Amino acid sequence: MKTRKINIKPFHLRADLRPESLNEETREVEVVFSTGVKGRRFDPDSWEDYWEELILTKETVRLERFLNGAPFLKDHNSSSIDNVIGVVTEARVEKNKLIGKVKFSAEEEADKYFRQVKEGVLGKVSIGYRVHKYEVIKMENEEIDTWRAIDIEPFEASLVTIPFDDDAKLRNKDENDLKLNSCKIIKTDPKKRDQGEISMSKENETKTVETKTPTVNAKEVRSEAIKAERERVSVINSEVKRFNLDHKLAQKLIDDGTEVDEVRTLIMDTIAKRDEQRDLKTQTPEVIDAPKNNVRALSNYLVSRVNHNEELKDGKAFSGMSLIEVAREITGKSGSKTEIAKRAMASSDFMSAVESASSMTLERSYQEARQTFSQFVSRTTLPDYKDYKRINFSASPSMLEVKEGAEYKHGSLGDKQETISLKKYGIIIELTEEAIVNDSLDFLESIANYGAVSARRESEEVYKVLTATHKMSDGKELFHADHGNLITTGAPSETQLDKVYEAFGAFKSQGGKNEQYLNLEPRFLVVGPDNRASAKKIMSSVLSGKSADVNIYSGDLEVIVEGRMNGQGWRVLASPDQIKMIELAYLEGMTGPKLTTWYNEKNDCVSHKIKHIFGVKAINSIGMVKAPNA
């Protein structure tokens, strides 16, 4: 028996959700994390392929980390807490399977994925795991070794659109961020061991699990040749992708008919040259603790001075310093306060720290601002400032019957198309020389204010659609008798809601002779403070001994109270999951206000330009009903 140690990165493995087990109350769903199926992998230490087989028993699987709140992520992306959509709540080994449960968070982003799992749109899961010990054996009729993983540690699960293939690694911000772990390799002779027995030395203790000897299917020569070529192409693509090499290299090796052994030699030479360049870049150590040139620390310090709830982590070296003292530390220069302030503003470190602190403050204040429209508005992005057409839902044609042997007929979406485009809003805020000398952070306070202002501007534009004159492509206002979405005045009541439900029941697709009922359901009751009491009462439970006094609409609609609706009557809207009614579009890459910073030498200041690009448009007149103010 031979033993050696190698350093390996984590692996991943496809898993499957059990949608039928979804519990809407607890937001949990069962997952089959692994069945121990064999998969082909590559040993970078020996440059040989091998079969990996997970031996799943209570003795071979370390569940402590998995059961201690292991994260449930989006696409294996652990670079930010925003990518955590839930947590692993249960895990157990049963009949050579790793089974458990994951729980979705109730946050808005996680809830989107929860609904998609519920609807059956998403159902693929992948787990990340480490192997601490392999037992290597040579199986009969197998060209490559089988590595039995007998010490496995799962540490995270991810919801994915397409599960990674066996050779892929965990996805992260940087492949080098994945920490290596030591793995013990024990090579045994199958002739000297009983069939089905696994050697798992753990403090001189031997445990056994039952295994199955894989069978090899005999194929014809042609099939084997095709299989060999596919494997060659797969290995080439896998190895080039594994080491982040240019895909053109893979195509050249495939076209040239290069054999696998020669491929690995060429790839190894390429990697050696790349690593040599990488080593040269990493010879200079990074200064982390020193306050000078520490952009992250200074940025953290500036934010903590404005937001006193912010924990001062990296910026403790600057604690208690005034802005002019920080400027002197950054530049390492002496002189008058105005001279030091001017040098600091021209310094790339100071500028980067100020820009980072400003961007962080802007984004946080924007995200924390309350917006009541989020539940009924659809968000999207547009590539530029051009006008973009949105097909009116009511103009969608119905499906037509196709007789036996007959041709399919072309459907037309009609000319009912709404146009949406982007608008640009912005302002400039300055950090002046005087502010640095006077130790004033008013510019950061202003930036925080404009983060909230940006969010409020979105709310203004959305509620203008519901309250002001808003023309549709047919030349009529959004709420119009011809659209069937306008009822008589009056506070929310049973009588008024009867009219709302009658209007919703009458909404049809307008496809000429083939118009169809859409069966839309009211979901949100949007009121101003003046109608809040009436709305709350009509949605509350009323217990009565008389059937005539029972509130039939209790809890039917979710009440949204918005100050901009005061004196504007009230509206009832469907869920955007049923139909898109109002669209809020951003410029691609700018889903919120963005900040740019530059040194304005002419005015002795650092200028911050806040730019917010978005557009709002009603893209359907159906799915909404208006009750005007009395």
In this predicted model, which residue has the larger pLDDT, 379 or 301? Answer: 379
The most confident of 34-43, 56-65, 508-517, 538-547, by mean pLDDT: 56-65
Lowest mean pLDDT among 328-332, 534-538, 554-558: 328-332
pLDDT of residue 207: 36
Same domain flag for 146 and 185:
yes
Element (H, E) at 324: helix 323-331
Q: Are strands 124-137 and 181-187 parallel, antiparallel or unpaired?
A: parallel
Overall average pLDDT of the 169-188 stretch = 53
Overall average pLDDT of the 521-546 stretch = 83
Buried b (16+ CB within 10 A) or exposed e, 112-149: ebbeebeeeebebbbbbbbbbbbbbbeeeeeeebbbbb
Q: Is residue 75 one of the residues assigned to a domain?
A: yes
Same domain flag for 270 and 349:
no
Write the CB contacts of 425 (distance below 8 Å, at least 6 apart in sequence). 454, 457, 611, 612, 613, 614
Alpha helix (H) residue ranges in 468-531: 494-506
Write the CB contacts of 87 (distance below 8 Å, at least 6 apart in sequence). 69, 70, 71, 72, 102, 103, 105
- Can you give the length of the chain in residues? 630
Q: Is residue 362 one of the residues assigned to a domain?
A: yes
pLDDT of 209 higher than 50: no
Which of 156, 188, 214 is where one domain is finished? Answer: 214
Q: Which two tokens stand for residue 97?
A: 């399977």
Same domain flag for 54 and 144:
yes
Tokens 């010490």, residue located: 151
How does residue 372 score in pLDDT terms, banded at 50, 70 and 90? Answer: very high
Which of 178, 193, 214 is where one domain is finished? Answer: 214
Same domain flag for 277 and 302:
no
Same domain flag for 51 and 140:
yes
Same domain flag for 276 and 307:
no
Q: What is the 3-state secondary structure (H, E, C) of 265-289?
A: HHHHHHHHHHHHHHHHHCCCCCCCC
In this predicted model, which residue has the larger pLDDT, 333 or 103? Answer: 103
Give the chain's largest Cα–Cα span: 92
Question: How do residues 52-67 score in pLDDT, each as one tens digit?
Answer: 888 888 889 998 888 8
Overall average pLDDT of the 269-287 stretch = 49
Same domain flag for 311 and 327:
yes
pLDDT of residue 189: 63
Q: What is the 3-state secondary structure (H, E, C) of 30-47?
A: EEEEECCCCEEEEECCCC
Q: Is residue 30 one of the residues assigned to a domain?
A: yes
Same domain flag for 146 and 229:
no
Strands (E) in 203-278, as ranges, are: none
Question: What does the mean pLDDT of the chain come to?
Answer: 78
Same domain flag for 222 and 205:
no
Q: Is residue 452 one of the residues assigned to a domain?
A: no
Which of 345, 367, 389 is where one domain is finished? Answer: 367
The most confident of 124-138, 212-226, 312-326, 439-453, by mean pLDDT: 439-453
Do residues 146 and 55 make contact, with C-beta atoms less than 8 angstroms apart?
Answer: no
Strands (E) in 359-403, as ranges, are: 377-382, 388-391
Q: Is residue 568 one of the residues assigned to a domain?
A: no
pLDDT of residue 428: 93
How does residue 296 score in pLDDT terms, banded at 50, 70 and 90? Answer: confident
Element (H, E) at 574: strand 570-574
pLDDT of residue 196: 44
Q: Is residue 601 one of the residues assigned to a domain?
A: no
pLDDT of 586 higher than 90: yes
Q: Is residue 361 one of the residues assigned to a domain?
A: yes
Overall average pLDDT of the 127-132 stretch = 86
Chain centroid to Cα 95, Å, comes to 34
pLDDT of residue 180: 63
Same domain flag for 108 and 194:
yes
pLDDT of residue 366: 92
pLDDT of residue 377: 95
pLDDT of 194 higher than 50: no
Q: How far apart are CA 298 and CA 329, in angstroms?
A: 11
Question: How do residues 245-265 score in pLDDT, each as one tens digit?
Answer: 777 787 777 777 777 767 766
Overall average pLDDT of the 117-127 stretch = 81
Overall average pLDDT of the 400-411 stretch = 78
Lowest mean pLDDT among 2-6, 84-88, 419-423, 509-513: 509-513
pLDDT of residue 64: 87
Question: How do residues 31-47 score in pLDDT, each as one tens digit?
Answer: 887 777 777 777 766 66
Overall average pLDDT of the 16-39 stretch = 81
Same domain flag for 274 and 202:
no
Residue 137's domain spans which residues? Answer: 2-214
**Tally of domains within the chain:** 3
Lowest mean pLDDT among 133-147, 202-216, 367-381, 520-534: 202-216
Same domain flag for 34 and 172:
yes
Lowest mean pLDDT among 168-172, 319-323, 441-445: 168-172
From the list 324, 348, 350, the residue with the least C-alpha distance to 337 is 324
| Backbone dihedral angles phi then psi of residue 136, each to the nearest 5 degrees | -100, 125
Question: How do residues 434-456 score in pLDDT, each as one tens digit?
Answer: 999 999 988 888 998 999 999 99
Question: How do residues 455-485 score in pLDDT, each as one tens digit?
Answer: 999 999 999 999 998 999 889 999 999 999 9
pTM of structure? 0.52
How does residue 211 score in pLDDT terms, banded at 50, 70 and 90? Answer: very low
Q: Is residue 129 one of the residues assigned to a domain?
A: yes
